[in-house]
């Protein structure tokens, strides 16, 4: 199951828990008896959303095991191979946390964020200025035009974790790992994005490196860059005519500290 220590991955856990306890006090004031009905067209949007959330949570509670790692399968499980299991992926949570920080940054700058008609897209607007805000979405401006004789090449395009685009394009790649080899791959990935999408900048965010052995010169270079990140919060390097960044975003740090480090880079482009 989900343990408190695992949920504390997010620094706003204490605030969330306090709000939840406050809601519990109000819950006791509600009538104990009532009836259920389907949503009506005249229901306010917030009520319909709350009802849908309730149904999802109810199904999770009744039917779905929840956790961070899959449990060992038993003989009984083999009889139900299609049984549902809800698993929290820490790397995906890290992407969501980084997306949340970018949204908070834009809101603090006075932008209003709303859903776009584009798939998984958002729009941030301020005084007539408009930023397209994407999460895990391929961009149309990819330079990949052909893959052998295949007709559908979209699946071969890079899919940046977070993108801000309009007059300037900013790509953010999120790597939830403290292993130097994995961060080295992330470093080269943002370098590849500069060729495929030609952004104004690309940023690699990661929580920091742990001590360990470096097996090649590329990892040694990554650790040297990380030493600068530890001192300044980020490091800048130039590649293909672009200024790229490695930036520390650690969910165990205070949100304001992470926002400050993020803002130090984004302020140069937004």
DSSP string, 183-251: HHHHHHHHHHHHHHT--SEEEEEE---------SHHHHHHHHHHHHHHHHSEEEEEETTEEEEEEE--T
Claim to verify: residue 111 and residue 62 sit in the same structural domain: no
Report d(CA 65, CA 80) in Å as an integer. Answer: 14
Q: What angle do CA 114, 53, 160 make, to 5 degrees?
A: 45
Range ranked top by mean pLDDT from 57-61, 145-149, 205-209: 205-209
The residue among 43 and 68 whose pLDDT is bigger is: 43
Q: Which residues partner with 245 through β-bridges?
A: 203, 236
Query: Averaged over 8-15, what is the pLDDT?
Result: 55
Count of structural domains within the chain: 2
Pick from 26-35, 174-183, 190-199: least confident: 26-35
Pick from 151-160, 206-215, 243-252: least confident: 151-160
Claim to verify: residue 66 and residue 171 sit in the same structural domain: no
Domain end, chosen from 61, 87, 113, is at 87
Domain end, chosen from 19, 54, 87, is at 87
pLDDT-derived band at 154 (thresholds 50, 70, 90) equals confident
Q: Which CATH number goes with the domain that contains 123?
A: 3.40.91
Claim to verify: residue 133 and residue 199 sit in the same structural domain: yes
Is residue 22's pLDDT more than 60? yes
Is residue 104's pLDDT more than 50? yes
Percentage with pLDDT > 90 across the chain = 40
Claim to verify: residue 195 and residue 124 sit in the same structural domain: yes
Pick from 119-123, 176-180, 205-209, 242-246: least confident: 119-123
What 3-state class would DSSP assign to 24? helix
Residue with the two structure tokens 């549902």: 84
Claim to verify: residue 109 and residue 215 sit in the same structural domain: yes
Range ranked top by mean pLDDT from 36-40, 81-85, 115-119: 36-40
Claim to verify: residue 204 and residue 251 sit in the same structural domain: yes
Say what the pLDDT of residue 6 is.
38
**Residue 112, both tokens:** 């209003």
Query: Averaged over 135-147, what is the pLDDT?
Result: 83
173, 186 contact by CB (below 8 A): yes
Report d(CA 218, CA 216) in Å as an integer. Answer: 5
Say what the pLDDT of residue 3 is.
42
Claim to verify: residue 31 and residue 154 sit in the same structural domain: no
CA-CA-CA-CA dihedral for 201, 205, 208, 209, to nearest 10: -70
Claim to verify: residue 221 and residue 118 sit in the same structural domain: yes
Residue with the two structure tokens 């009506």: 40
Claim to verify: residue 59 and residue 120 sit in the same structural domain: no
Domain end, chosen from 36, 70, 87, is at 87
pLDDT-derived band at 67 (thresholds 50, 70, 90) equals low
Query: Averaged over 144-156, what is the pLDDT?
Result: 80
Say what the pLDDT of residue 259 is.
95
pLDDT-derived band at 19 (thresholds 50, 70, 90) equals confident
Claim to verify: residue 134 and residue 238 sit in the same structural domain: yes
Provide, for the chain, the percentages of residues in helix, strand and coil under a 3-state DSSP scheme, each rounded to the nearest 5.
40, 20, 40
> Given the DSSP bridges, would you call strands 242-248 and 201-206 parallel, antiparallel or unpaired?
parallel
Q: Which residues partner with 239 through β-bridges?
A: 242
Structural domain range at position 138: 90-266
The residue among 13 and 196 whose pLDDT is bigger is: 196
pLDDT in tens, 34-57: 677 777 889 898 888 888 887 777
Claim to verify: residue 213 and residue 107 sit in the same structural domain: yes
The residue among 267 and 151 whose pLDDT is bigger is: 267
Claim to verify: residue 74 and residue 129 sit in the same structural domain: no
Is residue 165's pLDDT more than 80? yes
Is residue 30's pLDDT more than 80? no
């Amino acid at each position: 199951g989900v343990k408190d220590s695992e949920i504390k991955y997010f620094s706003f856990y204490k605030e969330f828990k306090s709000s939840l306890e406050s809601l519990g006090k109000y819950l006791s004031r509600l009538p104990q008896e009532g009836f259920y009905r389907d949503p009506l067209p005249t229901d306010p949007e917030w009520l319909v959303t709350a009802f849908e959330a309730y149904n999802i949570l109810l199904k999770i509670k009744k039917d779905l095991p929840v956790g961070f790692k899959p449990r060992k399968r038993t003989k009984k499980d083999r009889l139900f191979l299609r049984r549902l299991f809800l698993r929290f992926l820490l790397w995906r949570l890290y992407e969501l946390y980084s997306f949340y920080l970018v949204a908070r940054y834009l809101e603090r700058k006075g932008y209003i964020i709303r859903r776009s008609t584009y798939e998984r897209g958002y729009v941030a607007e301020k005084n007539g200025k408009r930023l397209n805000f994407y999460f895990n979405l391929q961009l149309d401006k990819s330079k990949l035009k052909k893959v052998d004789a295949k007709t559908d090449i979209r699946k071969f395009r890079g899919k940046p974790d977070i993108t801000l685009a309009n007059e300037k394009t900013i790509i953010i790649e999120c790597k939830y790992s403290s292993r130097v080899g994995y961060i080295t791959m992330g470093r080269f990935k943002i370098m590849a994005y500069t060729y495929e999408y030609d952004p104004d900048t690309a940023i690699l965010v990661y929580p920091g490196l742990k001590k360990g052995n470096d097996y090649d010169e590329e990892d040694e270079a990554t650790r040297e860059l990380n030493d600068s990140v530890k001192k300044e919060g980020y490091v800048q390097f130039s590649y293909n005519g672009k200024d790229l960044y490695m930036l520390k975003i650690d969910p165990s740090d205070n949100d304001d500290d992470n926002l400050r480090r993020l803002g130090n880079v984004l302020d140069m482009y937004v």
